[in-house]
Structure 1
Amino acid sequence: MPGVSMAETTFTFQVDEGLKDAFAEAAKGSDRTGAELLRDFMRDYVRDQVEAAAYDRWFRREVEAAIAEADAGNVVSSDDVEADAEIWRAEIRRRLNGAAS
């Protein structure tokens, strides 16, 4: 992770020779080594997984809170929602009609 000094280790895996050659050529074309790109890809993947897990935890908390609110009867009726939506639609029609003038 950036700013943190960590011991380095070797990571070995098998890959098709053609893919290895194509990757090395692509890395060279971007003035990078394959190892640099693989480290970047690994960091990005780990960061994405951490962010996805954090979002999932947040989303689950929000859903649980919403279910608790609904179970407690703290809901808005469909009639109230439709009445508000009609006010919004009327306002938009008014604005559109005013803009057309």
Structure 2
Amino acid sequence: MAESTFTFRVDEDLKAAFAEVAKAQDRTAAQFLRVLMREAVERDQAVRDHDAWFRSEVEQAIREADDPNTAWIPHEEVMAKWEARIAELRQRTSDDAA
């Protein structure tokens, strides 16, 4: 991979403190900067990948919701089933405790 120089200005105290942090990790400031730059790029890509995945999931959900063949279950029916399931689990827990 071709390399290039990255030049920028930084406060002298920050530069010295950064060099100490790099030294404490047994690296030069340049090596440590490369690590930080790679991590920033990887973090940004992970955020972009997650955003693309999430948007895709939302779009799929919207398509499914708009599909006239989608079977809808009334809220009351779902709640009744879950309340029965919760009661069953509570009963089982109290039977196991006895």
For Structure 1 versus Structure 2, the TM-score category normalised by the shorter chain is 0.7 to 0.9
Q: 1:69 aligns with which of 48, 61, 64?
A: 64
Q: How many equivalent residue pairs?
A: 96
Higher deviation after alignment, 81-90 or 37-46: 81-90
Of structures 1 and 2, the one scoring higher in RCO (CA 8 A, sep 6+) is: 1
The alignment-based identity, stated in percent, is 49
Cα gap change, 1:20/1:87 in structure 2, threshold over 3 Å: closer, same or farther? same
Match status 1:91 vs 2:78: no
Task: Write the letter of the residue equivalent to 2:73.
Answer: V
Give the TM-score, by structure 2 length.
0.85
Q: What is the aligned-residue RMSD (CA, Å)? A: 1.6
Q: 1:22 aligns with which of 12, 17, 20?
A: 17
Match status 1:9 vs 2:11: no
Cα gap change, 1:76/1:11 in structure 2, threshold over 3 Å: closer, same or farther? farther
Give the TM-score, by structure 1 length.
0.83
Match status 1:37 vs 2:32: yes
